[in-house]
């Protein structure tokens, strides 16, 4: 059975809760006899703690405890857990790996008292030489594979083919440190009752948090109850268990009272993840008619010794274009810099900037239209393993977006188009994101009043999960969506995977569909009013499954001041079945706006002398505001994929950002003749 086309723009079922303040986020929970924990951070990037003097802090009014490696309990192994830094279990020794590392927590009766207590903790160090410059240590870059991502891949002999190619480009592209900055700060409220833990956590991966804490604190998993009903943005930063979670739980156990820990805006820049900086080389070789004979994509990104994350920027190169010779490699340079982590479309976002900028440069070298170049190298099957696509509608994306944008009116000569004194530029890029899916479970119950309750331990981070799951259930059962209630965000519910990788709709949606289909059959045969279903992907899937898209941007550039303004963006995406046109459009636009920020504004400045991020607030870390965002036209290309999963969806949370940066950079080149290869595109680089 397949569910009928849904697609209707249903309003968010949690909209009233969020707009009236009834929705409670993790740190908004207050428990009887609650205390507050404030974190103390290291002020050096490398070395060891010589001494911690907590005597003055402990005499400060309201302070209950100061916990550091000197008095913290010994915790279990982090191997196999979701701890972001598996080689750095919090407060277990005095080694400093980066500036901003969590080294103590002060617990007090009020937040103000805990904050003052943290200010009074005195720490002295034995400093060690710090590694802070990726370029300086480039010769020490090393391979690192993660989550089945290969650090190297190859097909044919890309280097030999490049050497003999009649037309080639070979350039280096750079992307900076970037931070997620969700509006809801990371926070927890933890309470122990004997060896039972209740944790309110701002998390996009509650079952992994449950397993992690059970292992670290040596209690049965069923003794750990994690609740995450609403998450106010994450973008990947809340997918792992960061130090504040473990430290807050540790503090609650030590003081035998509930503890609330909320990470400040400044603190989250140092120990809650970021997108690492990258340096990427892309070399393309082609025949005179534009056929790619060689693709090389290699480079390095920042890492450290306590976290295994790598920014896999070669991922789009494995998917987008056909060539007999392809080689990719990424290396990690371990520095005394805070740990990186997943940030919206990890790897693909910076990788697409490099690859798609290079494709534009090749198009100019060939005097060929950028769309025509991409069509000449259209991959009809997976370029690396030659698997057939479960579906692919990228050609339709190119055509529909180009027509809507008016690409045919583009004069290809740089600096040839104007609006008064302003230079006008058109640019485009391809976009892609894999159609991930993980095992998930759901339960569906028909209530006495004819309503249906569907439950799964998934997450609502603003993308509309609760709404589309109610729609899937309603469509499967043939009842109005108003008769369905979706319950989520609790580890007592059926197991669900991390809400990341654009896979929630595919994973949890398939489980909801299966549970509701089973419930309908039970009701029809009078065998019961409850059903549970476990949905699992095929481990030997014969198809390659990706969403695809095309991004088009128009910019204006002031030739005297170098000011770049994005006038409009037209984007077309093909991502299987659309479950809710309204929330889908919001997801696409959110990704596009984040891509606009990446192109022109976002950059976390890093002082290599101190080993410290410096613009650690929303006044200096620049993000797009309303005045920066003009027309965004989203086209959802119809696509039927009978192979990808039972409900035919591919996931859309991340593809919207992929390709926006290079589309804007390519438009800036068209407007000015100036190629910017390191983001963000600032006035100085344009001038």
Average pLDDT over residues 61-81: 97
The phi, psi pair for 252, rounded to 5°, reads: -60, -35
Which two tokens mark 527? 């065998």
Which two tokens mark 168? 């080639």
pLDDT of residue 119: 98
* 140-178+274-435+542-686 CATH pick, 3.30.365.10, 3.90.1170.50, 1.25.40.20, 1.20.1250.20: 3.30.365.10
- Work out the angle at residue 229's Cα, subtended by the Cα atoms of residues 547 and 578, and round it to the nearest 5 degrees: 25
List where CATH 3.30.365.10 sits in the chain. Answer: 15-23+438-535, 140-178+274-435+542-686
Pairwise CA distance, residues 340 & 273, whole Å: 5
- Work out the angle at residue 598's Cα, subtended by the Cα atoms of residues 593 and 600, and round it to the nearest 5 degrees: 95
Q: Give which of 104, 209, 176, 147 is closest to 337, Cα–Cα.
A: 176
pLDDT of residue 147: 59
Give the burial class of 452: count Cβ atoms within 10 A of its Cβ; 0-12 exposed, 13-18 middle, 19 or more buried: buried
Q: Give which of 46, 95, 33, 39 is closest to 67, Cα–Cα.
A: 39
The phi, psi pair for 13, rounded to 5°, reads: -70, -20
- In eight-state DSSP terms, residue 650 is -
Orientation angle between helical segments 581-600 and 660-672, nearest 10 degrees: 50
Alpha helices in 12-143 (DSSP H): 15-20, 55-59, 111-120
Average pLDDT over residues 432-452: 96
Which two tokens mark 82? 């979701």
Q: Is the pLDDT of residue 522 over 50?
A: yes
Q: HSE on the CB side for 646, CA within 13 Å?
A: 25
Q: Is the pLDDT of residue 5 over 50?
A: no
Q: Give which of 350, 243, 358 is closest to 660, Cα–Cα.
A: 350
Spatial contact of 202 and 334, defined as CB atoms under 8 Å apart: no
Pairwise CA distance, residues 452 & 481, whole Å: 10
Q: Give which of 290, 337, 253, 216 is closest to 35, Cα–Cα.
A: 253
Secondary structure (3-state) at 117: helix
Spatial contact of 660 and 569, defined as CB atoms under 8 Å apart: yes
Average pLDDT over residues 151-162: 94
* 15-23+438-535 CATH pick, 3.40.1350.10, 3.30.365.10, 3.30.565.10, 3.30.1540.10: 3.30.365.10
Pairing between β-strand 440-446 and β-strand 326-334 as defined by DSSP bridges: unpaired
Pairing between β-strand 196-201 and β-strand 35-41 as defined by DSSP bridges: unpaired
Q: Give which of 502, 679, 683 is closest to 591, Cα–Cα.
A: 502
Tokens 């770049």 sit on residue: 564
CA 94 to chain centre: 31
Secondary structure (3-state) at 52: strand
pLDDT of residue 527: 86
Three-state SS string over 476-496 comes to: HHCCCHHHEEEECCECCCCCC
Pairing between β-strand 326-334 and β-strand 292-303 as defined by DSSP bridges: parallel
Q: Give which of 539, 498, 405 is closest to 207, Cα–Cα.
A: 498
Q: What is the pLDDT of residues 283-325, one digit of tens each?
A: 999 999 999 999 999 999 999 999 999 999 999 999 999 999 9
Max Cα-Cα span within the chain? 77
High-pLDDT (> 70) share of the chain, %: 98
- Give one word for 562, left, alpha or beta, with left for phi > 0 and alpha for psi -120 to 50: left
Spatial contact of 418 and 426, defined as CB atoms under 8 Å apart: no
Pairwise CA distance, residues 46 & 337, whole Å: 9
Q: Would you call 654 a catalytic residue per the annotation?
A: yes
pTM: 0.96
Considering only the top CATH level, what class is 31-129+183-233+238-271? alpha beta
Q: What is the pLDDT of residues 450-482, one digit of tens each?
A: 999 999 999 999 999 999 999 999 999 999 999
Non-local CB neighbours of 261 within 8 Å, separated by 6+ positions: 36, 37, 38, 39, 105, 187, 188, 190, 244, 247, 248, 251
pLDDT of residue 149: 61
List where CATH 3.90.1170.50 sits in the chain. Answer: 31-129+183-233+238-271
Bridge partners, residue 241, by sequence? 83
Pairwise CA distance, residues 251 & 106, whole Å: 9
Tokens 């209690």 sit on residue: 219
Tokens 């974190």 sit on residue: 39
Secondary structure (3-state) at 214: helix
Give the burial class of 508: count Cβ atoms within 10 A of its Cβ; 0-12 exposed, 13-18 middle, 19 or more buried: buried
Q: Which of 178, 311, 602, 654 is catalytic?
A: 654
Which two tokens mark 485? 């209630």
Q: Taking all residues of the chain, what is their mean pLDDT, rounded to a whole number? A: 96
Of 538 and 672, which is predicted with more confidence? 672
Which two tokens mark 285? 């070789």
Pairwise CA distance, residues 206 & 495, whole Å: 9
Secondary structure (3-state) at 381: strand
CA 664 to chain centre: 21
Q: How many CB atoms lie within 10 A of CB 47?
A: 18
The confidence band for 6, taking pLDDT boundaries of 50, 70 and 90, is low
- Give one word for 367, left, alpha or beta, with left for phi > 0 and alpha for psi -120 to 50: left
Pairing between β-strand 224-227 and β-strand 196-201 as defined by DSSP bridges: parallel
pLDDT of residue 144: 79
Three-state SS string over 265-276 comes to: HHHHHHHCCCEC
Which two tokens mark 209? 């948090």
């Amino acid at each position: 059975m397949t569910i009928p086309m849904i697609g209707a723009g249903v309003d968010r079922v949690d909209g009233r809760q969020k707009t009236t303040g009834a929705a409670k986020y993790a740190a908004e929970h207050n428990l009887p006899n609650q205390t507050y924990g404030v974190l103390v951070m290291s002020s050096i990037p490398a070395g060891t703690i010589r001494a911690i003097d907590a005597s003055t802090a402990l005499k400060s009014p309201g302070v209950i405890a100061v916990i550091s490696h000197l008095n913290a309990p010994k915790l279990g192994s982090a191997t196999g857990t979701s701890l972001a830094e598996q080689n750095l279990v919090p407060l277990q020794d005095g080694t400093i790996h980066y500036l901003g590392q969590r080294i103590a927590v002060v617990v007090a009766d009020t937040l103000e008292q805990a904050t003052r207590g943290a200010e009074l903790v005195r720490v002295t160090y034995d400093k060690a030489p710090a590694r802070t410059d990726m370029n300086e240590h480039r010769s020490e870059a090393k391979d690192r594979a993660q989550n089945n991502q290969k650090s190297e891949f190859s097909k044919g002999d890309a280097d030999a083919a490049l050497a003999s190619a009649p037309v080639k480009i070979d350039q280096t592209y750079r992307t900076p440190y970037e931070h997620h900055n969700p509006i809801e700060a990371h926070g927890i409220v933890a309470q122990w009752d004997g060896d039972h833990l209740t944790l309110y956590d701002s998390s996009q991966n509650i079952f992994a948090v449950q397993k992690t804490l059970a292992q670290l604190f040596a209690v049965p998993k069923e003794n750990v109850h994690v609740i995450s009903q609403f998450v106010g943005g994450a973008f990947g930063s809340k997918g792992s268990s960061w130090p504040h979670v473990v430290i807050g739980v540790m503090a609650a156990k030590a003081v035998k009272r509930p503890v609330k820990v909320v990470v400040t805006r400044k603190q989250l820049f140092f120990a809650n993840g970021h997108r690492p900086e990258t340096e990427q080389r892309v070399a393309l070789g082609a025949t005179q008619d534009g056929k790619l004979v060689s693709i090389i994509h290699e480079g390095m990104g920042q890492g450290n010794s306590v976290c295994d994350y790598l920014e896999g920027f070669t991922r789009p190169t494995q998917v987008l274009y056909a060539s007999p010779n392809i080689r990719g490699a990424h290396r990690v340079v371990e520095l005394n810099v805070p740990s990186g982590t997943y940030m919206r479309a990890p790897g693909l976002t910076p990788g697409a900037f490099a690859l798609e900028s290079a494709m534009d440069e090749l198009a100019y070298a060939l005097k060929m239209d950028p769309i025509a170049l991409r069509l000449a190298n259209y991959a009809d099957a997976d370029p690396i393993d030659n698997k057939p696509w479960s579906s692919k509608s990228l050609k339709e994306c190119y055509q529909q977006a180009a027509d809507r944008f008016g690409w045919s009116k583009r004069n290809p000569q740089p600096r040839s188009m104007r609006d008064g004194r302003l230079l006008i530029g058109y640019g485009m890029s391809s976009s892609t994101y894999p159609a991930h899916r993980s095992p998930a479970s759901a339960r569906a119950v028909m209530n006495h009043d004819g309503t249906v309750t569907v439950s799964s331990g998934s997450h609502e981070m603003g993308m509309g999960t609760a709404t589309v799951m109610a729609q899937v259930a309603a469509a499967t059962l043939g009842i109005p969506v108003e008769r369905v209630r979706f319950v989520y965000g609790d580890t007592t519910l059926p197991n669900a995977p991390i809400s990341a990788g654009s896979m929630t709709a595919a994973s949890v949606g398939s489980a909801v569909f299966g549970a509701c289909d089973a419930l309908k059959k039970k009701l029809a045969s009078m065998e019961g009013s409850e059903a549970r279903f476990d949905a699992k992907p095929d481990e030997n899937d014969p198809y390659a499954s990706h969403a695809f898209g095309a991004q088009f941007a128009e910019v204006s550039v002031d030739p005297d001041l170098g000011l770049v303004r994005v006038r409009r963006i037209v984007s077309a995406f093909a991502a299987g079945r659309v479950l809710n046109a309204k929330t889908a459009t919001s997801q696409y636009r959110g990704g596009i706006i984040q891509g606009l920020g990446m192109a022109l504004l976002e950059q976390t400045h890093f002082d290599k002398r101190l080993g410290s991020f410096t613009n650690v607030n929303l006044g200096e870390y620049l993000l797009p505001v309303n005045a920066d965002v003009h027309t965004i036209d989203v086209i959802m290309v119809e696509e039927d994929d009978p192979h990808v999963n039972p409900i035919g969806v591919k996931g859309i949370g991340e593809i919207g950002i992929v390709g926006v940066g290079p589309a804007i950079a390519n438009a800036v080149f068209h407007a000015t003749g100036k190629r910017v290869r390191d983001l963000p595109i600032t006035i100085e680089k344009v001038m």
